[in-house]
């Protein structure tokens, strides 16, 4: 199904010089993870959320990210991280 397509994993978000992607950095700054189990999926979804233009409001972010479950309940921090990263990516 993905033959001939480009796939980016969470490791592929980091720049060649080791600089974290804006979403990765925001997750650290906003303490948007606890156990780390869901973090890779949350971050990859957040990158797509921002790229696809669904980070206009907290409600829109929550709706877009609703398919990712966090067993620790870090949702407010995740939304804050997506909001922060969206602002950084836009500027």
pLDDT tens profile 39-84: 999 999 999 999 999 999 999 999 999 999 999 999 999 999 999 9
Mean pLDDT of all residues in 23-52: 96
Mean pLDDT of all residues in 10-31: 97
Q: Is 47 left (phi over 0), alpha (psi -120 to 50) or beta?
A: alpha
- Assign domain 20-90 to its CATH architecture: Orthogonal Bundle (1.10)
Mean pLDDT of all residues in 1-29: 96
User: pTM of this prediction?
Assistant: 0.92
DSSP assigned state of 21? P
pLDDT at 10 over 90: yes
Calpha distance 56→24 (Å, rounded): 19
Phi, psi of 65 (to 5 degrees): -85, 0
């Amino acid at each position: 199904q993905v033959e001939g397509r480009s796939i980016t994993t969470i490791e592929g978000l980091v720049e060649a010089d080791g600089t974290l992607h804006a979403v990765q950095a925001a997750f650290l700054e906003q303490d948007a993870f606890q156990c780390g189990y869901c973090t890779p999926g949350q971050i990859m979804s957040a990158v797509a959320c921002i790229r696809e233009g669904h980070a206009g409001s907290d409600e829109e972010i929550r709706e877009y990210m609703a398919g990712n479950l966090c067993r620790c309940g870090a949702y407010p921090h995740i939304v804050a991280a997506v909001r922060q990263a969206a602002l950084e990516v836009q500027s």
